[in-house]
Amino acid sequence: MSSFGLLAAIWPLTTLGHYVSWHVIQISVANLIVIILMVVTFIVALFAPFPGRRRRKENP
Amino acid sequence: MRSKAFRPDVDAPEWKGGHSPYDIIKEGTIALVVVSILTVLLSVAFGSPDDPSITIKAWSTNAPMDFATTALSELNATSGSAQYGAPYNHASTGQQLGPLTLAKWIGVRVPVNSVNDYIIDPLRSLPKQPALTADLSQWSSASGSTRAGWVKDYSQAANQMQIVNGQLVVNATNAGPLPVMMADLFQMARTGALDQALVTQNGFYTSDYTLPLLFLADGTYLSGIAQKQHLTGDQWGMMNETGNYPGQAWLWLYTFWYQIKPFNASGNGDVLVWGLMMVLSAGLLLTPFIPGLRSIPRKTRVYRLIWREHYRSLP
Amino acid sequence: MSTTEIDRQWTTRLRKRVAGKLPPEKLLPDTQPTYVSSWIYVFGVTTMAALGVVIASGCLLALRGPQWWHTSSVGHFVNSLHLWSVEIFFFAMVIHLWGKYFMAAWRGGRALTWMTGVVTFLTSIATAFTGYVSQSNFDSQWISTQAKDGINSTGAGAFWNVLNSGQMLMWHIVLLPIAAVALTALHVLLVRIKGVVPPFEKTTEVTQ
C-alpha cells in the first residue's frame, strides 16, 4: 500500500504513457479510449431503444 | 403564422402531436446520482496524476551545464525570453498575423529584464559577501559598453565552461566581475536560494511565477522531461497528460494544426493557429446561419434514427 | 396608487414579462412532446449533473487551499473526483453537441440557444485550461510555459498572464465558473422558453 493508504487509487495510471502513431496522428492510448468511448456512446444513444413513454394527452 | 417560404434548416414546424409524461426533476436527480457514482468509481480506480514541480535547485543539480548555459543566455540576452518581444520586452516584433503585430501593439505589460531579473537582483538578495559585494558595485558603476565587453569576453570563455567540485568555472580574463557573479549565481541555484529570490522580488507574499517559469522554459531540462512524457507541441502534447491519464482530448483540433504545414514551420505558428481556431469557433457559433453547414443534419438523415418512433407513428 | 400606475412599475413589468415568457409549467414541465424519445436527449442533463459534481468537488478542494491536495490523501482523492468529473463533463457535453447538431436544434428561432451552448463550451475549455495551470505541479509548469506563446501571440498575454499562478487560480475558481454557470443557466432557460426542437417535417408552415 502506498503512502496514501486507503484512499490510494487501485490502478494508478502513473506509469509512462502508451501512444499510438499513424501518419501525422499521435495519440495517447488513454485519450484514444476516451474518444472511442464517446463515439460508441453516441452511436448506442442513437440506436438503443428508449423506454417507451405513455401518451397522455393530445394537444394540451 | 407567416406565409413566407418554409426554410427547412432554419424554420421548425409547429408541433401538433401529443405529449408524454416527463419528470424533469427525477431525470436530473438520476443523472446526478449516476455521474456521482461514476466519478467516485473512476477516482477510486485510477486516482489522478501529480508529478512534482521542477525547482531551479533540482534543475541546477541534475543538469548543471544546462542551467549554467541558460544563465549565460540570460546574461548575454540570447535566451528565448530575452529575445521574446512583447509582453516581456522590446527585443523583437514578436509573432505576426499577416500585417498585424498584435502583441507589439499592446506593448510590454509584463516587463522582464533578463540580466537584472535573473542575475543582478537575485545576487543582490544574498547576504553580504565582500567579493560579491565589490563585484556587484563594479557592475553597477560600469558603463554600458564596458559591461558589453565583459559579457562578450565571458560568453567566449564560457565555451570551455566546466563544473569542478560543484563550482562553475569559466576562465575569462577580461570579463570583470562576471566569473565570480556567475559562479555565485550557480551556487545560489544549487542551494535553492534562487528559487526563492525569483518569486519574492516584489515582496514577501507572491503568487506570480512569471520569472522562474520563463527561466525554466529557457533551458532544456523542463522540455526534456516533457518530451519523455509526450507533452511537447509536436507530439500532440497539448492533449496529453502525464502518465497514462486521459488529458484535454477536447483540444484535438487546436493541437492538430501544430503538426502540419504551414503552422509547424512558421515563426508565426501560434498566432496563425489562434487565428484559424477563432475563425472555426465562429463557424461553430454561427452554424445556424451558415448555408451548407446547417443543411448537413437534414441531408445526412441521422435525425431519422433519433426520431424514428415519431416517423414510425406517422400515417 | 392606480392600477395603471402599478402596471407601469418596472417591477410589475418585469414580473409580467417573465411570467409570460416562462410560466411555471414551461420552467418545470411535466410533459414533453412525444418525439422526445431517444437516449440522445439524456446528455444535456448529464452535462449539467457533471457540472454539479465538478463544482462540488472544486468547493471541497477550496476548503483547505490550493496546496492541500499535494500532501493529503484525502485531498488527492478530492482532486481525483475533480479531474474525473471534468472528463465526464466534457464527454457528455461533446455528445450533447453532436446530438443537437444532427437534430439541427437551432431551427424554429432557437439559434440563440445553440449559440449560448457553443459559448458555454468555449468558456468550459478556458475554465479547464486555467485549472490545469493551477495544479501547482510539473503539469502546470509545462502547460503554462507552452500556452503562454499562444496567448501572447494574440496580445492577450499582456493582461492575461498564464505564468501568474494567482491570476490563473482566481480566474479558475471565481470568474470563469461564474461565467460558465451563468451561461448554462441562460442556455437552459432558452431551452425551456422555446421548447425542444421538433423533428424535420415536409411542411410549409412556419412558426417562430
Report CB contact under 8 Å: B236, A50.
no
Q: Report chain C residues whose CB lies below 8 A from the CB of A55.
A: 34
Report CB contact under 8 Å: C139, B241.
yes
What is the second-level CATH architecture of the domain C107-199? Up-down Bundle (1.20)
**pLDDT of C193 strictly over 60:** yes
For residue B40, give the chain A residue with the closest CA: A9
Is B41 inside any structural domain? Answer: no
**Measured distance CA(C91)–CA(C95) in Å, rounded:** 7
Report CB contact under 8 Å: C158, B309.
no
Task: Output the CA torsion sign for C94, B297, C179, B22.
Answer: negative
**Measured distance CA(C90)–CA(C98) in Å, rounded:** 12
CA distance B303 to chain A (A): 9
Residues C43 and C96 sit within 8 Å (Cβ to Cβ):
yes
What number is the ipTM of this complex? 0.94
Helices vs. strands in chain A: H and E counts, helices first: 1, 3
Report CB contact under 8 Å: B270, C85.
no
For residue B314, give the chain C residue with the closest CA: C201
Measured CA to CA in angstroms, residue C113 lies from B95, C118, C121, C124, C197 at distances of: 36, 9, 12, 16, 11
Q: Report chain A residues whose CB lies below 8 A from the CB of B264.
A: none
Q: Report chain A residues whose CB lies below 8 A from the CB of B309.
A: 50
Q: How many domains does chain B have?
A: 1
**Which DSSP string corresponds to C152-174?**
HHTTGGGTS-TT-HHHHHHIIII
CA atoms in the 13 A half-sphere facing the CB of C61: 24
Among C residues 123-162, those touching chain B with beta carbons less than 8 Å apart: 125, 128-129, 132, 135-142, 144-146, 148-150, 152-155, 157-159, 161
Residue in C183, C98, C114, C103 with CA at minimum distance from that of residue B288:
C114
**Which amino acid is present at C120?**
T
**Which DSSP string corresponds to C17-74?**
HHHHHS-HHHHS-SEEETT--SGGGHHHHHHHHHHHHHHHHHHHHHHT-TTHHHH-HH
**pLDDT of C74 strictly over 70:** yes
**Measured distance CA(B196)–CA(B218) in Å, rounded:** 18
Q: Report chain C residues whose CB lies below 8 A from the CB of B22.
A: 29-32, 36
CA distance A21 to chain B (A): 10
Q: Give the start-end residues of each E strand in chain B.
A: 18-21, 162-164, 167-169
**Measured distance CA(B200)–CA(B43) in Å, rounded:** 36
Measured CA to CA in angstroms, residue C1 lies from C7, C9, C13 at distances of: 10, 11, 16
**Which amino acid is present at C76?**
H
**Which DSSP string corresponds to B29-77?**
HHHHHHHHHHHHHHHHHH----PPPPPHHHHHHHSHHHHHHHHHHHHTT
Residue C198: cis peptide before it, omega within 30 degrees of 0: no
For residue A24, give the chain B residue with the closest CA: B259
Q: What is the pLDDT of residues C21-70, one digit of tens each?
A: 999 988 999 999 999 999 999 999 999 999 999 999 999 999 999 999 99
Q: With b meaning 16 or more CB within 10 Å and e meaning fewer, what string describes C149-184? A: bbbbbbbbbbebbbbbbebbbebbbeebbebbeebb
What is the pLDDT, as a whole number, of residue A17? 82
pLDDT one digit per residue (tens) for chain B, 315 residues: 455 788 999 999 989 999 999 999 999 999 999 999 999 999 999 999 999 999 999 999 999 999 999 999 999 999 999 999 999 999 999 999 999 999 999 999 999 999 999 999 999 999 888 899 999 999 999 999 999 999 999 999 999 999 999 999 999 999 999 999 999 999 999 999 999 999 987 788 889 999 999 999 999 999 999 999 999 999 999 999 999 999 999 999 999 999 999 999 999 999 999 999 999 999 999 999 999 999 999 999 999 999 999 998 887
**Measured distance CA(B149)–CA(B172) in Å, rounded:** 12
Residues C141 and B53 sit within 8 Å (Cβ to Cβ):
yes
- Give the bridge partners for C33, in sequence order: B19
Measured CA to CA in angstroms, residue B269 lies from B82, C71, C120, C154, C156 at distances of: 19, 39, 27, 11, 16
CA distance C9 to chain B (A): 32
Kindly give, in sequence order, each residue whose CB lies less than 8 Å from that of residue C164, ignoring residues fewer than 6 positions away: B207, B208, B209, B210
**pLDDT of C203 strictly over 60:** no
- For residue C1, what pLDDT band results from cuts at 50, 70 and 90? low
Measured CA to CA in angstroms, residue A7 lies from A11, B294, C56, C67 at distances of: 12, 49, 19, 18
Q: Find the Cα–Cα–Cα–Cα dihedral A36, A38, A43, A45, rounded to 10°.
A: 150
- For residue A57, what pLDDT band results from cuts at 50, 70 and 90? very low
Out of C30, C122, C141, the one facing B213 most closely (by C-beta) is C141
- For residue A58, what pLDDT band results from cuts at 50, 70 and 90? very low
What is the pLDDT, as a whole number, of residue A55? 47
Is B127 inside any structural domain? Answer: yes
Residue C117 is placed in which grid cell?
451552448
Range of the domain at B171: 56-218
- For residue C4, what pLDDT band results from cuts at 50, 70 and 90? confident
For residue A48, give the chain C residue with the closest CA: C39
What is the pLDDT, as a whole number, of residue C32? 93
CA distance C111 to chain A (A): 23
Report CB contact under 8 Å: C139, B51.
yes
Out of B236, B240, B244, the one facing A15 most closely (by C-beta) is B244
Report CB contact under 8 Å: C40, A34.
no
**pLDDT of C124 strictly over 60:** yes
**pLDDT of A8 strictly over 90:** no
Residue A30 is placed in which grid cell?
488513454
What is the pLDDT, as a whole number, of residue B204? 86
Kindly give, in sequence order, each residue whose CB lies less than 8 Å from that of residue B92, ignoring residues fewer than 6 positions away: B83, B84, B85
* Long-range CB contact pairs, B97-104, < 8 A, 24+: B97/B268, B97/B271, B97/B272, B97/B275, B97/C153, B102/B271, B102/C153, B102/C154, B102/C155, B103/C152, B103/C153, B103/C154, B103/C155, B103/C157, B103/C158
Is B237 inside any structural domain? Answer: no
Average pLDDT over residues C76-94: 98
CA distance A17 to chain C (A): 14
Average pLDDT over residues C6-32: 92
Q: What is the pLDDT of residues B157-182, one digit of tens each?
A: 999 999 999 999 999 999 999 999 99
Q: How many other CB atoms are there within 10 angstroms of residue C5's CB atom?
A: 9
Among C residues 81-110, those touching chain A with beta carbons less than 8 Å apart: 87, 91, 94-95, 98-99
Residue in B183, B185, B182, B161 with CA at minimum distance from that of residue B171:
B161
For residue C34, give the chain A residue with the closest CA: A55
Q: Does C185 touch chain B (CB under 8 A)?
A: no
What is the pLDDT, as a whole number, of residue B200? 82
**pLDDT of A3 strictly over 80:** no
Interface test with C, best of A6, A32, A46 (most C CBs within 10 A): A46
What is the pLDDT, as a whole number, of residue A6? 66
Out of C138, C169, C208, the one facing B51 most closely (by C-beta) is C138
Measured CA to CA in angstroms, residue B305 lies from B94, C16, C196 at distances of: 51, 40, 17
Q: Report chain B residues whose CB lies below 8 A from the CB of C125.
A: 248, 250-251
